[in-house]
Structure 1
Amino acid sequence: MLVAATALLALPLAAEAQQKPSRPWAEDVLYFVLIDRFADGSNANNMDVQRDNPGGFHGGDLVGLTRKLDDLADLGITAIWINPVALNIKGAVGAGSFMHYGHHGYWADDLSKMDPRFGTEAELKAFVDEAHRRGIKVLLDIVYNHAGYDSAYTKRPDARDILRTTDWGTCKEEGDDITMCVGGLPDFKTEKPEVARMVVEKQIARAKAAGIDGYRLDTVKHLTPEFWAYHRKTMRENFGKDFFLLGEIFGADYLVADAYFERDDMDAALDFSFKGETLGWLQGRGRTAAYSRFLQKRHKVRPGYIMSHYLSSHDVPMALGELGGDVQKFRLAAALQMASVGMPQIYYGEEVARTGNDWPSNRTDMPWGKDATLPGKGVKRDDGLRDYYKRLIAARRANPAFAHGDYTELAKDGDLLVFQRAMPDSGNAVLVAVNRSEKPQSATVALPASWAGKTVTDALTGKALGKAEASLALTVDGLTAQYLVAN
């Protein structure tokens, strides 16, 4: 117990809840963390650690994540999404050398309790308070659709009233989103009002006590519109109108998400289209004009709602892996992500070139290099890439046109894409140029009239390109991007 007490004393003190950041969510840069894979700050919760097992617990916890908040604040992110923290099943799924445990938090055994392998409720509150102290919001991942394999819910006297399972033969065939058992997991009968109340209300007290800013909602399309209407009403009654809801509507783009936005079920949705379109263009699949149209269409999202676009996640292959480890092309993907409308989401470690591709290698440990932090102590990282991310994020935060501005295509021939993000009312504008080829590419583009007489500068390098005139003859080196601003 001495080790645990020492670990807690090492945390920054948060005597009282910190004031929540008031920044609009459309201006945030979101960082998604699997707690167990990030940083181990306390030996007291390492009861099930198996670092040699890619499907096992590796020891990361909320104490460790809290200690790394300064690192994340230095990166420039403004919001953190953490995986579910409800108590997960004790046992594993699988056989042989790969036994898969609930290290990710999505296999609940008891929604009302917190999983001690992630930390305590006091440590969750300390983490949220310290994040708020640094101006960082916190989203907690919430699962309503299903329980964990062979969870305690399947052994309750009323189990068949609240669940359907593959073992009982009560799951519907795939294609029926509401009554299917996703991944063979026991499916809560959330179409029943009493079951809906159970899964929602069991998790409110923990989030309220911690001061959470919003939820990331798992498996959205597997619950009914009636459930989501009840959920929105309940969230506002318990947390207020500003409690943010980000939904995972698997496979969705802005068109699919619009039905949920029209009903005001949630404030934002993950954009599953951005990654594929962006990596495809960077790998030479498709014309530049077509990719530009894709970026422009993303602005058609319903006013007041947000699409959150990512390059990697725990459910899909990692972008750097799909690019064959080509860091230069990955830099371009990151530049396009930070220059695009919506709330960009960074998956932990991709900012330092965390290796991996498809599951389970998309859930590897956070690389800490020479830092002694486990579980990623000694794992190689690319701090040059991290510095590039810092510059991208700083430019995005310094220019509200990235979050709120319109999109104007300026050049789309060959391998060079140039577009403008601008807010005409404020005068803020950024020209974004991305060259996907290995050779320099040139174009002459019109400059905003408001730039007249000012110095055109690349915000990513600090290089001045001269005084702004009506147009600019632009040359972009191979596999590079520019964010041009006027000073």
Structure 2
Amino acid sequence: MKQFLASFVSVLIFFVSTSSVYADESATNSWTKESIYYIMIDRFQDSNSENNYEIDVNDPNAYHGGDIQGVMDGLDHIQELGFSTINLSPVMANSVDGYHGFWPENLLEVDEHFGTLEDLKALVDDVHSRDMNIILDFSPWYVAQTHPWLQDAEKEDWFLPNRNVATDDEFERPWLDGLPVINTENEEAASYMLDLAENWAKETGVDGFRLYVDDQMSRSFVGSLSSRLKEVNPDFLILTDVENLSNYPTGYDATIAKDMYQSMTSTFRSSGESLDALMNQWQETASAIGKDTAPVGFLDSHETIRFTREAVMQKQNPITRWKLALTFLYTMPMVPTVYQGTEVPMDNGVPEPDHRVAQLNGGDEDLKAHIEQLNAIRKQFPVLANGELEQVASEGAMSLYKRTDGKETMYVAINNDTSTKVIHLEELENDQQLRGLLLDNIVRGSEDGVHKIALDRETSDIFIVEEDTGMNWTFISFVILVMAAFVAMVIFLSVRGKKRTD
């Protein structure tokens, strides 16, 4: 039944939208249209018991058994949710208890707890066969305290003198505290790292790297690394995760929008918060990042408190909060990134990052359907990825903004208020109407030419603009036929069941 309803919703989206969809041919960054699902390998899914070395599921700091085969086995689930790209945590061989991947001890091999290089290549091939992308977290300039180079006197200059990772207080990454850091100003060390990155890109066939960059890293090195990887593959994604946008130049394919994370969380974790401050933060973030770099947005991650926990601490319904926040994330000029377990949604019960094994079975079907729907809509309407953004109006904690690319215009209404709100839209023609894709709302103009968009508290909708033809009898007939067929099938199965009983 649930699969039928999901398919039915997808068909309705296609039916009402195919006549008014245009691709944005002017978009130069192909990654803006993607949606990313982040996976911490050790805490995703254990599918191969043969690599279960030093496993202790009762110790939160030990390996728990997740592996590359587990990721492969989870691809159907991720693809059904509608994601186009997966982002894996670091895969290099780590020291003891380096389940997160950020304590590399051997930069040339895949961690034996996760599998082998051949396993990783097989995963890449599987992902590509699904017309999806795969990117890797890549940060070999942070190495384990046990790395053999630290005992090599000839490589003493390969490390920064203070051997300490600079971390941001807003993000919890205790695994980085005190790690030795490669000195990328050192010509020999930088050359090794460039060769290493090129080799991993060529050997694995992945589509990009997420580069963790702090303020101690050489700017020229990151530029050289980007150029080197683009020689391997001109479409290779360079996604930077920087400590502070104001201290680090952009200009790469994409960058993590950390300031937006903080603003989105504070806005959507509870009802009654206006979106005005969030929109102001977007203007600052967009200006800092620049037009040639795609901002990557997220609501929680392996480095932050679960958004579910944020909502629960505010005594809010987390499903309602998630749906509003995700609608915003998917309809802004950002590449949406979702952390494993969001679709459940997972909550570890404490205000710290959640590294428990992903709970992929069960969960909230309404939230899953919402994620599927948002991914489908974003793929169907490129304007949501590449169009210009304009805030149109607000009323209390309800906000209306639009995305336009000169060919297509879509409106997004989010009511984060504690009561029903109405926004009067006066810029449409009298013969135009708005059709909602999330709530099936139809908004027609009144006699004075005003389109009144009304939303119940804590709801949202995404509108396409179309000609007002009155009652859409073709669409209505289609819906009646589908529902009639469904009812007929239920009756048939019921009658057949009674006959078998008799």
Match among 331, 335, 344 for residue 339 of structure 1: 331
Q: Classify the secondary structure of the residue corresponding to 2:399.
A: strand
**Structure 1 position 445 matched with structure 2 position 445:** no
Write the mapping of 1:205-216 to structure 2, written as runs, cut at 5 A.
205-216=199-210
Instruction: State the match for 2:43 in structure 1.
Output: 37
* RMSD between superposed Cα atoms in Å: 2.7
Query: How much does 1:454 deviate?
Result: 5.2
With the length of structure 2 as denominator, give the TM-score of the two structures.
0.79
Q: Classify the secondary structure of the residue corresponding to 1:198.
A: helix
2: distance between equivalents of 1:361 and 1:226? Answer: 33
Query: How much does 1:448 deviate?
Result: 4.3
Query: How much does 1:236 deviate?
Result: 2.5
Task: Read off the aligned partner of 1:248 and give its amino acid letter.
Answer: D
Write the mapping of 1:74-473 to structure 2, written as runs, cut at 5 A.
74-89=80-95, 91=96, 101-164=97-160, 170-171=162-163, 183-237=177-231, 239-252=232-245, 259-261=249-251, 266-282=252-268, 283=270, 287-300=274-287, 301-324=289-312, 326-356=318-348, 361-369=353-361, 381-424=363-406, 426=407, 428-449=408-429, 453=431, 455-466=433-444, 470-473=449-452
The answer to whether the 8 Å contact 1:29/1:77 transfers is yes
**Structure 1 position 477 matched with structure 2 position 456:** yes
Question: Could you tell me the percent identity over the aligned residues?
Answer: 22
Query: How much does 1:355 deviate?
Result: 1.1
Query: How much does 1:408 deviate?
Result: 1.8
Q: Classify the secondary structure of the residue corresponding to 2:418.
A: coil
With the length of structure 1 as denominator, give the TM-score of the two structures.
0.81
CA change 1:174–1:331 in 2 (3 A) is closer
CA-to-partner distance for each residue in 1:8-44, whole Å, 9 max, x for gaps? Answer: xxxxxxxxxxxxxx99101111111101111112111
Query: How much does 1:401 deviate?
Result: 1.5
CA-to-partner distance for each residue in 1:390-431, whole Å, 9 max, x for gaps? Answer: 11121112111211111222222311111111112x2x2211
1: distance between equivalents of 2:356 and 2:68? Answer: 17
Q: Which runs of 5+ in 1 are unaligned?
A: 1-21, 92-100, 371-380
Q: Which runs of 5+ in 2 are unaligned?
A: 1-27, 169-174, 467-502
Query: How much does 1:296 deviate?
Result: 4.5
Task: Read off the aligned partner of 1:80 and give its amino acid letter.
Answer: I
2: distance between equivalents of 1:357 and 1:110? Answer: 35
Return the index of the structure with the highest Cα Rg.
Answer: 2
Corresponding pairs, count: 426
The answer to whether the 8 Å contact 2:435/2:443 transfers is yes
Q: Classify the secondary structure of the residue corresponding to 2:424.
A: strand
The answer to whether the 8 Å contact 1:27/1:400 transfers is yes
Task: Read off the aligned partner of 1:260 and give its amino acid letter.
Answer: T
Task: Read off the aligned partner of 2:234 and give its amino acid letter.
Answer: K
Query: How much does 1:478 deviate?
Result: 0.8
Query: How much does 1:462 deviate?
Result: 3.2
Instruction: State the match for 2:477 in structure 1.
Output: none
Task: Read off the aligned partner of 2:322 and give its amino acid letter.
Answer: F
The answer to whether the 8 Å contact 1:454/1:468 transfers is no
Query: Per residue, is there more helix in 1 or in 2?
Result: 2
2: distance between equivalents of 1:343 and 1:314? Answer: 17
Query: How much does 1:208 deviate?
Result: 1.2
The answer to whether the 8 Å contact 2:330/2:374 transfers is yes
Query: How much does 1:84 deviate?
Result: 1.0
CA change 1:173–1:213 in 2 (3 A) is closer
1: distance between equivalents of 2:167 and 2:356? Answer: 32
2: distance between equivalents of 1:227 and 1:114? Answer: 24
Query: How much does 1:147 deviate?
Result: 0.2
2: distance between equivalents of 1:327 and 1:316? Answer: 19
Q: After TM superposition, where is structure 1 displaced by more than 6 Å over at least 4 residues in a row? A: 172-176
User: 132-141 or 466-475: which moved more?
Assistant: 466-475
CA-to-partner distance for each residue in 1:299-332, whole Å, 9 max, x for gaps? Answer: 4442221110111111121222112262212221
1: distance between equivalents of 2:50 and 2:426? Answer: 61
2: distance between equivalents of 1:38 and 1:26? Answer: 26
Q: Classify the secondary structure of the residue corresponding to 2:65.
A: coil
User: 457-466 or 310-319: which moved more?
Assistant: 457-466
Query: How much does 1:285 deviate?
Result: 8.1
2: distance between equivalents of 1:340 and 1:138? Answer: 23
The answer to whether the 8 Å contact 1:49/1:58 transfers is yes
CA-to-partner distance for each residue in 1:323-343, whole Å, 9 max, x for gaps? Answer: 226221222111111111021
Query: How much does 1:115 deviate?
Result: 0.7
Q: Classify the secondary structure of the residue corresponding to 2:354.
A: helix
CA change 1:174–1:228 in 2 (3 A) is closer
1: distance between equivalents of 2:69 and 2:167? Answer: 41
User: 132-141 or 408-417: which moved more?
Assistant: 408-417
Match among 27, 37, 55 for residue 33 of structure 2: 27
Task: Read off the aligned partner of 1:437 and give its amino acid letter.
Answer: D
Query: How much does 1:432 deviate?
Result: 0.8
CA change 1:197–1:175 in 2 (3 A) is same
Task: Read off the aligned partner of 1:224 and give its amino acid letter.
Answer: S
